[in-house]
Amino acid sequence: MNQQQPISVSIILVNYNGKEILPDCLNSIEKFIDIPSYEIIIVDNASSDNSIELLAINYPQIHVVKQIENRGFGAGNNAGAKVASGEFLFLLNTDTVLTSNILPHLIELMQEDPQVGIIGPKLLNPDGSLQISVSPALGIKGEYQARKMHQDYLNISQQSLIEQEFQEIKEVDIVVGAAFFIRSSLFHELSGFDENFFMYFEESDLCQRAQYQGYKIIYTPHVSLIHLKGYSIQKAANIMSIEYRRSQIYYYQKHRPLWEQILLRMYLFYKFFTEFITTNNPNSRKIIVLLFTFKKSAVQGSLSN
């Protein structure tokens, strides 16, 4: 990396106990990224798996920001952005692997249209198949459409039709946060991610707020990378299922009309009350309690480890 020139892109990764996957991600960045000047910033969310030691020994050139507690994905990226010098930020999950030098294309798209604020590249599963990485604007209708698209894609007869929809550059409502390219100026204008989201919906919220400011969200299939998808949450799936609903409720309170907020709560109460009665699942009980105790001002009880 040539540090004599102004930094064009700051690549920010938030790590939490990702020692097993970090090397593949970082090695792919160093292998394929070839632009005049960039930097890599890793924000470690108080990992306990010796991730810090791994970075110090094998990647001493990388700027590491150490958090004293795990405050979530959004807060971690915000911490990285505070020390970033790049004109653009590339927020990248640690469970991704690059297979090409994708940054020149993303930079070019930004430079061609000042109204483009956020870009999501094509995501692939490890077997090379398409991973759906965009979503319509979230709400009752949008969530139904997104879920239907994902379900349809599981049907082999529907896959080719859906893949055709992802073959051209297009404007979308939401791109997922696994590979999230954004103007640094816009990120700071929006005050970064809303840290009341511990995980889930934070990129949807940021995309929505960018659109409020008149910026476009773009998906491009002309560059791609592999996303292992879900590595960081598989270790705490039950807890994160509760966090998903917490973030969902908070998102609706921020962006959706009152009738949709009420309808969501009614649906969740029916769904999880029925599940609790039939299975006695303690997570269902916790979500029911959440429906009656959630406050708009903050996400209560966010995970700390």
- Partners of 15 in beta bridges: 44
Residue 300 has pLDDT above 80, yes or no: no
Is residue 2 scored above 60 in pLDDT? no
Place of tokens 């690549």: 11
Amino acid at 81: A
Q: Nearest CA to 78 among 50, 37, 41?
A: 41
Question: pLDDT at position 1, please?
Answer: 46
* Type of residue numbered 182: I
> What is the per-residue pLDDT for 271?
74
For 188-224, the DSSP string reads HHTTSS-TT-SSSSHHHHHHHHHHHTT-EEEEEEEEE
Residue 115 has pLDDT above 60, yes or no: yes
Pair 234, 277: CB distance under 8 Å: no
pTM reported for the whole predicted model: 0.89
Are 174 and 203 in contact by the 8 Å Cβ rule? The answer is yes
pLDDT at 11: 98
Pairing of strands 96-98, 116-124: unpaired
Average pLDDT, the chain: 89
Using an 8 Å Cβ cutoff, are 51 and 15 in contact? yes
Pair of tokens at residue 303? 């995970």
Closest by CA to 187, choosing from 65, 74, 298, is 74
Report the percent of the chain where pLDDT is more than 90. 71
> At which residue do the structure tokens 């990120």 appear?
187
Q: What is the mean pLDDT of residues 124-144?
A: 94
Does residue 44 carry a pLDDT above 90?
yes
CA atoms within 13 A on the CB side of 24: 15
What does 214-274 look like in DSSP terms, one character per residue? T-EEEEEEEEEEEE--SHHHHTTHHHHHHHHHHHHHHHHHHHS-HHHHHHHHHHHHHHHHH
Radius of gyration of the chain from its Cα atoms, rounded to whole angstroms: 19
Q: How far apart are CA 219 and CA 19, in angstroms?
A: 30
Listed in sequence order, the residues at least 6 apart from 221 whose beta carbon sits closer than 8 Å to its beta carbon are 121, 122, 166, 167, 168, 169
| Structural domains of the chain sorted by starting position, each given as residue range(s) with its CATH number in brackets | 9-232 (3.90.550.10), 236-293 (no CATH)
